[in-house]
Structure 1
Amino acid sequence: MRKSTIANALGLILLGIGVIILLPIVVAILEEEYSSILPFLVASVCALISGLICQWRGGWGHNFDSVTRSEGFMIVTLTWVVMAAIGGIPYLFYGLSPLDAYFESVSGFTTTGATILIDFSLYPKDFFFWRSLTQWLGGMGIIVLFVAILPQFAVAGRRMFFAEAPGPTEDKFTPRIAQTAKALWLIYVLLTVVEVGLLHFTGMPLFDAVCNSLTTMAAGGFSPHPQSIMGYQSSASTWIITCFMFLAGGNFALQYRALVQLKPHSLFRSEEFRLYLTIVLFMSSMLGLNLYFSHQMSGADSLRDGLFQIVSIITTTGFSSVDFALWLVPAQTMLLTVMLVGGCAGSAGGGVKVVRVLFMGKYLQREVSQVLHPQAVLPVKIDRTTVPEDIQRQILGFLLFYIMLMVISGLVVTMIEGDAAVGFVGTAATIGNIGPGFGEIGPMGSFGMLSIATKIIFIINMIVGRLELIPFIAMLHPDFWTFRRGC
């Protein structure tokens, strides 16, 4: 790896964030919260100075066309770690400790939605706007944003693009990676604007509509209301958010083809999307029936809350229309099941991803058939295309590391906190970038009371989970840390 290349790329991104972080100042001025201008001004200055230093150390103006895979992984990882540090600076001015500020910022940028806040009344509106904006930026991806807007990354952006959101396939549906990034952001912005309009039309205050829409499309779950979506007591808003959460958990490339290129058949030709839809409909039906018969909820409420919570958890958004931490064990088990699935590849959702679940089902089916027909050649196919052997190994490796990290993290946190629910559910919620769990870290709870060690572990889980383990796995190999001179 070349330090100059990494420093230059990081410097460019920091300069961009230094400008973006000024946006909450506009909200502070509109809401006449003038004392909130300083926190974001300081954060912006820190980002700009850091960016200039990185550019200087990298030798200024750099050609990124020859970025290697290792350099791409390092740039992406450092971007998320440093971005969270910059994004946490404003929180320090509102009384949060450095660790809590970093936790809240990481939770925002990784779209996890796990909060350390306890009393929401202590914070101004621009504070909540920044929380929502960090999720919106992280939902589509920081690197994807800068690949779309910075011409310097027009060629090398491919390495970083897929390092940030590694998946079983590289879904590039336009000739140039920069065009792909712009197309993804186009559909992302379009859906966000439409949701803002619909929520405001149903009676939700404009500020809340903006914040909730930003975090819905990011599959993030931060809401300016301490009781999440439940606090608005609006069935219409709940249904609207359910629909947009479902879209946030779907592949944005397919949605671009369906909505912009007017090819709706693209959605239903995708085996992953069909499985995603099937899981949502089946699990929400089962949960709705459970709520109706075991929790004495009305038919309408059972249908609405069952669908809302299944969509919220499988897309890793983490919104709540009801305090599901109070539900009986069977209902919570259904939520835990979809928590382990996650959204589609190419979506804002986290987790294992539906396409990997689909692959594992086909892989196991192939292995069973191979027992009966040992000489048969039985390729694993998704969307009528054979999955290459290297992709199969990558998926299996991902799943093994995912399980290993979840077990180790769960056991360590359980020993630290003395609570298996916090240990394993909290681990699943942070690695999967879901947010709330059960019990004290439930939808109406907070991660703020956890120990320092647990918060550090969960911070690592959130970053590793957002980057889908691949850069983390690469960093475990000694060869990754080989640096060389040159441009």
Structure 2
Amino acid sequence: MAKRLINTSVTLNVIGGLLFIMGTLMLSTLCFAIYYKEPILPLLFSSLITIGTGTILKLTTISSKDAEIRKRDGYLIVTMGWLSMAVFGTLPYLLTGAIPTVTNAFFETMSGLSTTGASILDNIEEMPRAILFWRSLTQWIGGMGIIVLTIAILPMLGIGGMELFVAEAPGPTKDKIHPRIKETAKRLWVIYVALTTLQTILYLFAGLSFFDAINHALTTNSTGGFSTYQDSIAFFNSPIVEYITILFMFLAGTNFTLLYFGLKGKFKNILSNDEFRWYLSAVLGLVIFITPIVYTQVGDASFLSTFRTVLFQVVSVITTTGFASADFTTWGSLVTFIFFLLLFSGASAGSTSGGIKIVRIIVLMKNGFLEFKRRLHPNAVIQVQLNNQPVPGLIIYNLLAFIFLYLFIFTIGSMVMTGLNVPFMEAVSSVATSLGNVGPGIGELGPSHSFSQVPAAGKWVLSFLMLFGRLELFTVALLLTPYYWKRN
């Protein structure tokens, strides 16, 4: 008897589990609602609906809980799981009336779960505290989900050459997928929770309230960038707060496998990692180049203050966090263009950052330079190396396909947004920042503004671009091809 094309029961079982976890975490918003004397019932109903739906899905598919998850099922589970969480994540916004329209609520939720950080809110300080906490928590949930996804799940699916990026990670094997994923996820959770807790404590010592500390710790380690204030980190006007945020943004943009090595005392693994060295060099190089330019334009700021501001913005954008301590779009055309390019790069693979990822850029650059050598020596076998290991040709082909698809989606998305009468610069940057999961764009969508002015249709387009970018493109794109829905 031929196997079914898609194991629907397995898919619904996993989605049910995700919704149950999400609904349970949603209950934590009640603590802030009670403390700040805000309405409780809308949040309670949101949580119960989500938990109830998840429970029903789990119970009705209980016979499939131990079934094998095939590669074809994996693509569907990852995509539909993220969409399901985004749909149910809108409930706190809708039922409390904090964000009354479905379009805006879905945009805000998808921006949270994808750790993009683009927001439609123009009155953040006026929002209920419990809702602001839920907003931050969606990013933290999404960040942890991405870590587990990129280090444990995607290698199993063979998406985008991810095997290269996590070769040293304790990821799954074909023989023991479930046990190894559980083992990996447990280690990652410990690191993720530890970083969040440590940052919260440091924020408290820096003078932040517990509410501000926990919210910004949640959205920093997820490289999400949601803040409890319209002015973002600039609201605090505190060098200490900025340096703490810079440190944890940088750590969150580092491959979590390397962070695990660091905790084990294997610092040689970190320092010898090509991607980490490029990541660190890119941050330092950009700061050294941009700081003098900005310093000459901002006459009332000291050089040290300018250095800190530039460092903050560079780390924020390259890690796709999206926090702001200043508006980089006011620093001149050259600097604005540099930051526009950073919307595409992202930080390390295996981190919570979005974008193309530095490791892909490294491999493609090395391959491009070696092509000149191959032209001179056509019979020589010349391989690209990463971390002193040869990179298989198949992975390079996968990377080329990824870059092509990334630029193709960016082009089509930009055309659609301009077709919706969004000004060119805002249209192009909104697509770049959504696909790269960064947050702020350029022009009227820059760090000092929100996405509230984007047309409703444009918000739906950007929401799905966030999903595409967050799930490494191929995960979602494959579902849109006829190949996925045909039997081989």
Judge same fold: TM > 0.5, yes or no.
Answer: yes
The answer on whether the counterparts of 2:161 and 2:398 sit within 8 Å (CA) in structure 1 is no
Count of residue pairs brought into register by the alignment:
471
Q: Equivalent of 1:75, from 74, 77, 99? A: 77
State which drifts further: 48-57 or 333-342.
Answer: 48-57
Trace 1:321-340 onto structure 2 (pairs within 5 A). Answer: 321-340=325-344
The farther-off stretch of 380-389 and 455-464 is 380-389
Summarize the Cα distance change of 1:142–1:174 in structure 2 as closer, same or farther, 3 Å threshold. Answer: closer
Matched, 1:44 2:44: no
Query: How far did 1:52 drift?
Result: 3.2
Residue of structure 1 in register with 2:409 after alignment: 405
Matches within 5 A, 1:232-251: 232-251=236-255
Q: Counterparts of 1:113-152 in structure 2 under 5 Å?
A: 113-141=117-145, 144=148
Question: Which residue number in structure 2 is paired with residue 90 of structure 1?
Answer: 92
Q: Once the two structures are superposed, what CA deviation does each residue of 1:381-404 show, in whole Å capped at 9, x if it has no partner?
A: 111111122211211111000000
Partner of 2:175: none
Distance change in 2, residues 1:465/1:227 (3 Å)? same
What is the percentage of aligned positions where both structures have the same residue? Answer: 36
RMSD: 2.2
Whether the 8 Å CA contact 1:143–1:160 is kept in 2: the answer is no
1: CA distance between counterparts of 2:318 and 2:125? 30
Query: Is the CA contact 1:73–1:163 (under 8 Å) kept in the aligned structure 2?
Result: no
CA distance in 1, matches of 2:147, 2:314: 29
Secondary structure of the structure 2 residue equivalent to 1:340:
helix
Once the 2 structures are TM-superposed, how far is the Cα of residue 255 of structure 1 from its aligned partner?
Answer: 0.7
Q: Which of the numbers 343, 346, 370 marks the counterpart of 1:366?
A: 370
Structure 1 residue 218 displacement after superposition: 0.5
Q: Pick one of 267, 274, 280 that aligns with 2:270.
A: 267
How big is the shift at 1:194?
A: 1.0
SS for the counterpart of 2:347 is: coil
Question: Which residue identity lines up with residue 83 of structure 2 in the other structure?
Answer: V
* Structure 2 alignment gaps of length 5 or more: 1-5, 172-179
Further displaced range: 40-49 or 19-28? 40-49
**CA distance 1:217–1:299, shift in 2 (3 Å):** same
Structure 1 distance, partners of 2:366, 2:485, is 36
2:32 matched to which residue of 1? 27
Aligned to 1:53: 56
CA contact (8 A) 1:110 1:135 kept: yes
Q: Give the whole-Å Cα distance in 1 for the aligned partners of 2:245 and 2:145.
A: 21
Q: How far apart are 1:164 and its partner, in Å?
A: 9.2
Q: 1:99 to 1:20 in 2, by over 3 A?
A: same
Residue 39 of structure 1 and its aligned partner are, at CA, apart by 2.4
* CA distance in 2: counterparts of 1:164 and 1:10, whole angstroms: 21
**Correspondence for 1:294:** 297
Give the 3 Å change call, closer, same or farther, for CA 172–371 of structure 1 in structure 2: closer
Are the equivalent residues in 1 in contact too, given 2:286–2:314 (CA < 8 A)? yes
Change (3 A) 1:161 1:291: farther
- Say if 2:166 and 2:350, in contact at 8 Å, map to a contact too: no
Q: Does 1:180 align with 2:184?
A: yes
Q: Which residue of 2 aligns with 1:349?
A: 353
Distance 1:204 1:49 in 2: 36
Between the aligned partners of 2:22 and 2:486, the Cα distance in structure 1 is 29
Looking at structure 2, the residues matched to 429 and 179 of structure 1 have their Cα atoms a distance apart, in angstroms, of 33
Partner of 1:283: 286
Report the counterpart of residue 15 of structure 2 in structure 1: 10
Distance in 2, matches of 1:98 and 1:14, equals 19
State the match for 1:154 in structure 2. none
Aligned partner (choices 213, 218, 230) of residue 217 of structure 2: 213
- Mean Cα displacement is larger for which, 98-107 or 416-425? 416-425
Mapped partners of 1:143, 1:288: distance in 2 = 32
Q: Secondary structure at the match of 1:188?
A: helix
